[in-house]
Structure 1
């Protein structure tokens, strides 16, 4: 694998990883695209696809041979996601990867309200302990997801109260990641809190969506018990329902508030607002 590019990007068949891979390609970077299914990779100049599985070090370690800089998008939500992360981080260290740029979560901590944020913190600690260089991109809630929270009746329901969050567009996360990957040594050991330009509540988001789309969107506060009950019909496992509900309770607790200047500092451009995002042409 050592004849392949030494910049590796995971998740290129997904939204965020795909954005990063395309922007790197447009900027003239050669890259190794580490994906589960090489048949699904985007057709990019100077890009080579290699199969990996986060939870399978036998497959991942040789795929990581010769990689100097690794952009690691967090794995899809799963009950064993943390174990998958551990296995992949260990494989990267064993393969001699020098620097990992990892997409973490805003406010990641061992006791943060958002349950999956705890997994991100544990992954950060695994990377720190590995001896590899690192940069952590702690992304706030995706601004892109806000329009999807409304049900068919146009109501966003959840136990977020009047809490606010500094939600950030995935495009801004991608641009920030590319800025780091262009010159990773400059960002070694840094943690960036990637947010949008403002704090916004779900009620305010509903007003913006109503104005921008013409569809009436409202926010309805639920109690925690009501939130668990209303999601029971999905048949999802307990850990996933708890993760869904804790997204809202983290907002209520104020753990996703506090806009930063990190996106602008990395990219030289202000991050998008929700209104700007929903007005973009849909691909």
Structure 2
């Protein structure tokens, strides 16, 4: 087990906050960093990086939304004596071809994998928790999720499994050096099937409707999402429809010695917590 300090970037995000908690439970000193943490970290402010990196042994890296900054960050990490990097990337990143999606993650992979440090890359599929903690949550609560996804399934993964994988790699120096782990759930589901399970577990009528990428971009922009960001998200669905990342893998089981959590298990937990219930009128007043 590593006892050096681990810097966790994106420490208030879906994976970062979970990874930090696991490391603390392991007894690993953690420096949690984000734009709103006591240890402030901003990808657009390289002047603050050295303070976050001081006396750090390992870094959990969640790439920024633009290509480029991770190269400079890795150079600083090398210069100040960091020994290990664990990067959160995306499933099958080297199969995305000339897609406009994921240029940020591919740039980050180039930086980390080209460094002189011990590195590991985690490439998970779409998170289950996108349905209750992120972009899909509000439409599901409203009763309909409309996306440009059809019959090509996605092997959704539980973010708790991703955090378990990251914590394992970060606390086992040497064992995972130079490895790329493609992390998936135990089976692939279409978005329609996923919404059907959510509807049943929540006890509400919730529908799935397929729309075109152009319609999805327009809907996101109408909700206040920037046009560039909206096109980027839509491009992810165009990529998924190519069917290159639908297969499940055994990488999580090999890494953790157990099977990944099922989507049904996630749905039961989230529904029991009230994830997709409409707020009462008094709560919105």
Q: TM (normalized to structure 1)?
A: 0.85
Q: Residue 15 of structure 1 aligns to a residue in which SS?
A: coil
Deviations 1:129-180 (A, max 9, x none): 2322210000110111135523554222122111111111110000011111
Instruction: Return the offset for 1:94.
Output: 2.5
Question: Residue 155 of structure 1 contacts residue 218 of structure 1 at CA under 8 Å; is this kept in 2?
Answer: yes
Identify if the C-alpha distance between structure 1 residues 8 and 235 changes in structure 2 by more than 3 Å, giving closer, same or farther. closer
User: Which ranges in structure 1 are unaligned for 5 or more consecutive residues?
Assistant: 40-49
Match of 1:38 in 2: 37
Q: Which moved more, 1:134-143 or 1:229-238?
A: 229-238
Tell me which of 164, 173, 185 is aligned to 1:175: 164
State how many pairs are aligned: 266
Q: TM (normalized to structure 2)?
A: 0.84
Tell me which of 241, 245, 251 is aligned to 1:262: 251
Aligned: 1:234 with 2:223: yes
Aligned: 1:225 with 2:210: no
Runs of 4+ aligned residues of structure 1 deviating over 4 Å after TM superposition are 110-114
Q: Tell me, in whole angstroms, the C-alpha distance in 2 between the residues paired with 1:15 and 1:144.
A: 8
Aligned: 1:82 with 2:67: yes
Q: Tell me, in whole angstroms, the C-alpha distance in 2 between the residues paired with 1:113 and 1:252.
A: 15
User: Which ranges in structure 2 are unaligned for 5 or more consecutive residues?
Assistant: 275-285
Q: Tell me, in whole angstroms, the C-alpha distance in 2 between the residues paired with 1:229 and 1:6.
A: 45
Match of 2:78 in 1: 93
Question: Residue 193 of structure 1 contacts residue 262 of structure 1 at CA under 8 Å; is this kept in 2?
Answer: yes
Q: RMSD of the alignment, in Å?
A: 2.3
Question: Residue 63 of structure 2 contacts residue 104 of structure 2 at CA under 8 Å; is this kept in 1?
Answer: no
Question: Residue 89 of structure 2 contacts residue 121 of structure 2 at CA under 8 Å; is this kept in 1?
Answer: yes
Match of 2:281 in 1: none
Match of 1:105 in 2: 90
Identify if the C-alpha distance between structure 1 residues 220 and 190 changes in structure 2 by more than 3 Å, giving closer, same or farther. same
- Residues 1-283 of structure 1 aligned to structure 2 (within 5 Å): 5-39=4-38, 50-75=39-64, 77=65, 81-109=66-94, 111-112=96-97, 115-147=100-132, 149=136, 150-151=139-140, 153-280=142-269, 281-282=272-273
Instruction: Return the offset for 1:5.
Output: 4.5
Identify if the C-alpha distance between structure 1 residues 231 and 17 changes in structure 2 by more than 3 Å, giving closer, same or farther. closer
Q: Tell me, in whole angstroms, the C-alpha distance in 2 between the residues paired with 1:63 and 1:225.
A: 41
